[in-house]
Structure 1
Amino acid sequence: MKTNKPYLLVGQGIAGTVLAHHFLQANIPFKIWDSPNHFNSSYAAGGIFNPVTGRKLEKTWLADELFDYLFSFYQQLEKTLSASFFYPMPLYRPFANAEMKQWLMDRKPQINHDFLTWEEDGVWVKQAGWVDVASLLRHSKNYFKSLGIFSERTFQEEDASNFEAIIYCEGFHATQNPFWNKLPFLPAKGELIRFHSNEPSRDSILNKNGFILPLPDGAYKVGATYRWDEFTPFPTASSQDELMSKLTSMGVSKYELLETYVGIRPATQDRRPFVGMLVGNNKGIFNGFGSKGVSLSPYFAQSFVQAIKGDKELDPEVSIHRYSHLFSV
């Protein structure tokens, strides 16, 4: 039975922030709490959205649905927040070598070309770009504060009775939450470096075993690394070396390193998010978006809100009900 109590969203990373904006659009009363004791990996995100994935140049899962929605969502959100953080930008993928070029040309008839333009030395990807996640989160926090719905506060279970339901948007911190740590997360630590150089293009994202992303301030980011053996919030020498190697492989020889960013992606073993409310209690989750948070979270936040309102059921591929056996008594 519904009460007049608000929902509580726990965590103000990219997932919690995007879900909060959808709650506002749907006029669902809620609060959003962000723990001061958790480091927020979303601030380190590269923020790239790209409808083509992998060496086979395959359309990413649900590309048509995701990318139709994310453009309108972020463009409207910029207006709401009076801020700029959404940067559509072509992405260029040069062929790694002659053998890879020939392999792709041989299978070209099997490749979907909706988002691709082929050139002699590589392919251009359309409807790509990036979101300045840190800027989005800062402006959203200020906006939520102005509405009186944001608190920097750690959720405790004894707080649950004050809310209609608790939706956990904790990113990789959910792996330490006793209620959710049974879920098959596969977190991956990643590092990026911000740098200055006069060598890369400022007009596109370069994607070649990594990426170089031009930033509005004239600098760039290079990324990203993946490791699964430790999850501290600190940079590592081996990852720094790997990033500098990526710069060299992408033709950048003269640069000044400025800043390192460290985050832990809340990836999952089946590569699908965890979304929805559990049956029989007031707990829900919006998590597991991995490295694709900026492209996946808007579409599934919309879907989650529709499910909460009873308008539409969640896609079984993302619904938390696929793991209901882990929560049965």
Structure 2
Amino acid sequence: MEVDFLLIGQGLAGSILSYRLIKAGFKVCLVDDGSPTSSSKVAAGLYNPITGRKMVKTWQADILFDEIETFYKELEIVLNQNFLHPTGIYRPFISYEEQNEWVAKSADAQYDRYIGEVFREPGFPGVSDPFGGLLLKSSGYLDIKKMLQAYRSWLMNRGDLIQSRFSEEKLIEEASGNWQFQEIHAPKLIFCNGIGAKESAFFKWVPFTPVKGEILTVRQEFTSREIINRGVFRIDLGNGIAKVGSTYNNREIDLTPTISGKREILDKLRQLVPIEVTGIVDHQVGIRPAMGDRRPVLGRHPTKANVYLFGGLGAKGVSLAPYFSKEMTEYLISGKEPQKEVNINRFFKYI
């Protein structure tokens, strides 16, 4: 079967990029074995405009957040599923100085679309917020696992998915320069397989910085319509169940849940929401395909003109993927180079 693009990986990156290409009228095929341990399926899927310990506006927020809800709502319609959950995020202040800083920022027009309300007094019973807090809007979470499952079914119905573990040894470069994998022939090959791209002979020089993250699903008699986020995030799933995380470990890169990870999450949750956790429902681990500079990586192999990489989305994949998949699609179609901060050519010095 002849296609325009052969994509490796049906995680968040591969799914969203392939949808962009299909929408643009191209024929694609994805190769993916459906591994339940992929980082996309484990991730909590937050999109949050104000991030980090210092509570700063996330990089390129004004560009990224124009795309997020519009894109995922369109995909919900196409797949006839609901997986996007626009939800306020409440971030308690850690000092009066921080409170004063955000009172000032609330008068700044560049923050209008992100600030729902600034609380100068404790505003959320059950939450440890003695200095008040910041309620964000234009935020929420994506049920990534549900989205990927729905998209996988859609691809299968179209005949656009090979359910197989990708092996580069079985990839054939034809005399024409096209690529063949099993019965698929394509002029262009795109690696979207997260940290798996580091194992590729094409991209082993790209300096991925994999990060292990652990997430708990807990029982806790506390209900909140908002996501509570400081040190850890807490997403209320209803019926006394919440998802809480996550850890960041760049030393032990494996898929083994740890007692230390569980303890770290529970200790931080106790500081944020000091209400007893009565049980652990699930303990999950994922390896984030992050980059050292915390920017995605997009573009073409330096010597193989028809081999590409789209990845490095890391912990902010839900926020980054809609916009940068559009940038990658423009590059694939028209040759418009991705912006320098995400362009793969920033790593050519490592070859």
TM over 0.5: yes
Q: Are 1:207 and 2:202 counterparts? A: no
**Inter-partner Cα distance in structure 2 for 1:54 and 1:101:** 18
Match of 2:317 in 1: 293
Aligned residue among 72, 91, 97 for 1:102 = 97
Aligned residue among 120, 137, 142 for 1:126 = 137
Residues 319 and 95 of structure 1: is their aligned pair in 2 closer, same or farther, counting only changes over 3 Å?
same
**8 A contact 1:171–1:288 mirrored in 2:** yes
Residues 21 and 107 of structure 1: is their aligned pair in 2 closer, same or farther, counting only changes over 3 Å?
closer
The amino acid of 2:168's aligned partner reads Q
SS of residue paired to 2:172: helix
Identity of aligned residues (%): 33
SS of residue paired to 1:309: helix
**C-alpha deviation, 1:136, in angstroms:** 0.6
**8 A contact 1:267–1:291 mirrored in 2:** yes
**8 A contact 2:221–2:276 mirrored in 1:** no
Residues 19 and 93 of structure 1: is their aligned pair in 2 closer, same or farther, counting only changes over 3 Å?
same
Query: Structure 1 length normalisation: TM-score?
Result: 0.91
Query: Structure 2 length normalisation: TM-score?
Result: 0.85
**C-alpha deviation, 1:277, in angstroms:** 1.7
**Inter-partner Cα distance in structure 2 for 1:277 and 1:324:** 11
Higher deviation after alignment, 207-216 or 34-43: 34-43
SS of residue paired to 1:255: strand
Aligned residue among 181, 200, 220 for 1:177 = 200
Q: Deviations over 1:96-149 (max 9, x none)?
A: 3xxx33245257646753312311101111101000000011111111000001
Gaps of 5+ in 2: 121-131, 174-178, 181-185
Q: Deviations over 1:227-266 (max 9, x none)?
A: 1111111201100111111221122314321011110111
**8 A contact 2:3–2:29 mirrored in 1:** no
Match of 1:145 in 2: 156
4+ long deviations beyond 6 Å: none
**C-alpha deviation, 1:186, in angstroms:** 1.4
Match of 1:22 in 2: 20
**8 A contact 2:88–2:226 mirrored in 1:** yes
**8 A contact 1:87–1:129 mirrored in 2:** yes
What pairs up with 1:1-329 in 2 under 5 angstroms?
5-35=3-33, 39-96=37-94, 100-106=95-101, 109=104, 113-114=111-112, 115-116=114-115, 117-120=117-120, 121-153=132-164, 154-157=166-169, 158-160=171-173, 161-162=179-180, 163-201=186-224, 203-215=225-237, 219-250=241-272, 251-281=274-304, 282-310=306-334, 312-327=336-351
**C-alpha deviation, 1:215, in angstroms:** 2.0
**Inter-partner Cα distance in structure 1 for 2:302 and 2:238:** 46
Query: What RMSD in Å do the two structures reach over aligned CA positions?
Result: 2.0
**8 A contact 1:90–1:125 mirrored in 2:** yes
Q: Deviations over 1:170-223 (max 9, x none)?
A: 11222333332221211110011112222141x100001111001266621010
**C-alpha deviation, 1:311, in angstroms:** 6.5
Q: Deviations over 1:60-104 (max 9, x none)?
A: 1111111111111000100100111100000000113xxx33245
Residues 87 and 107 of structure 1: is their aligned pair in 2 closer, same or farther, counting only changes over 3 Å?
closer
